Amino acid sequence: MPFLQDPLAILAVLMLNIVISEQLAKLPYFRAVGTSLIVIIVTAITANLGLIPASTNVPPIYDGIFTYLAPISIFYLLLTVNLKGLKRAGAPMVINFLIGAVGTMVGVIVAMRVVGGPKGLGPLFYAVGGMFTGTHTGGSSNLNAIALHYGVNKAGNVYAATIATDNIVTALWMGVTLVLPPLLNKYVPRRLTTTLTTDETRRFEQEANDQISDVETVNPQDLAVLIGLGVVALYVAQLVAGYFPAIPKILVQTTLALILAQLPLVQRLRGVRVVGIFCIYLFLAVIGAFCDLGVLAKDGQLALTMLTFVSISVPIHALFQFGIGGLLKQDWDVLSIASQANIGGSASCLALSKSLNRPDLHLPGILAGALGNAIGTYCGLLVAEYLKTVTFG
């Protein structure tokens, strides 16, 4: 029996875990791990110590967060995707990003055959394939959307292993995309010379940082509109699903969010990113409560299989990205940043473009990552549904 059973006490512990995770993520040794995974680990420890309920004694508050808060949080994050801004990314960045997205889809399908589908990744193999497709098309919000749709959020160990593997790959791929451009430029020079002034460089950096900042000033009116939009979107998605059961609710929410995100009134709303990220962290905290550390420690084979899986899928993505891009004589820096937009998302694109000393690619990379947020859930669901039809020998 868990020590705390009152919903308010459980919620207070979850909030405390988010605070602890945010502080840990600022430390040098934890920074690379990321707040998302730290939230899961900290809450898993809390649940396994018996302080709050785990998966064997699920309180109603967990179901409430899964049912309402999690899908709304994804809706909020998608409200930041302004597709009209894609023209500022430039055709080379967008085209190469889309080539990389196709490479991700092909890579996941091939890798799933290699690991044997259900034999290697269990009965939720198709969902795992969709989650990796989503997150390696543009970010973790896609991974969470697909996990919710297929109920992976309640398979805490599978979800935690997927998040951990994704974090490892993102960190490693940052190193690869940092090393490849100078190496390739040495033998096949393609680097374009930029002629930005100091003022232009500073302006581009500031604008790029503003795009991914999680610090905002919000007033009660913005908050009321924001919460109202989320509630209405969830209601509409449930309504559509009632009339058309074949249409996934998460797709309805994604489409609604992308449509609303193009409206100037919604673009002026403040607090969207902060509220969305907070809701995601609370959702991930509950995921952590579903993690049985004893089972997770014993299930080393699952983690090993996932690492094998991504060691196949990501190189195939790279083959598409750098192979086709090379044949088209694209700038290697653009290809690396487009690839990072696929695998790591917007924030890692900014870090990479800074490391490559390409301030002209700060904003294009972030915008490519935004495109990934927009299409990743569609791509992930498409691959997951296809994997359901595949017969594995």
Closest C-alpha among 73, 75, 134 to residue 280: 73
Residue 17 lies in a domain: no
pLDDT for 199 = 62
Closest C-alpha among 239, 263, 272, 271 to residue 253: 239
CB-side neighbour CA atoms (13 Å) of 106: 13
Q: Which residues of the chain have pLDDT under 50?
A: none
CA distances from 76 to 7, 68, 73, 92, 380 (A): 25, 13, 5, 29, 19
Cα 103 from Cα 321, distance rounded (Å): 7
Residue 52 lies in a domain: no
pLDDT for 344 = 83
Residue 345 lies in a domain: yes
Q: What is the dihedral of CA 273, 346, 368, 145, to 10 degrees?
A: -60
Count of structural domains, the chain: 1
pLDDT for 349 = 79
The model's pTM is 0.81
Residue 40 lies in a domain: no
pLDDT for 104 = 96
- Chain segment 240-251, per-residue pLDDT in tens: 988 888 888 888
Closest C-alpha among 251, 241, 200 to residue 376: 251
Which burial class, exposed, middle or buried, applies to 270 when counting CB atoms under 10 A from its CB (0-12, 13-18, 19+)?
A: middle
pLDDT for 73 = 86
Residue 160 lies in a domain: yes
Closest C-alpha among 39, 288, 282 to residue 157: 288
pLDDT for 69 = 87
Residues 6+ apart with CB under 8 A from 157: 291, 292, 295, 296, 299, 302
Q: Which two tokens stand for residue 8?
A: 């308010």
CA distances from 136 to 131, 158, 238, 254, 374 (A): 8, 17, 28, 17, 13
Residues 6+ apart with CB under 8 A from 331: 92, 190, 191, 192
Alpha helix segments (H runs only) across 153-291: 156-187, 198-212, 220-243, 249-260, 264-267, 272-289
Neighbours of 301 (CB within 10 A): 9
Residue 381 lies in a domain: yes
Is residue 120 a contact partner of residue 305, using CB atoms and an 8 Å limit? yes
pLDDT for 196 = 53
Residue 15 lies in a domain: no
Closest C-alpha among 122, 150, 124, 5 to residue 66: 150
Owning domain of residue 347: 60-389
Residue 364 lies in a domain: yes
pLDDT for 154 = 80
R_g (Cα) of the chain, nearest Å = 21
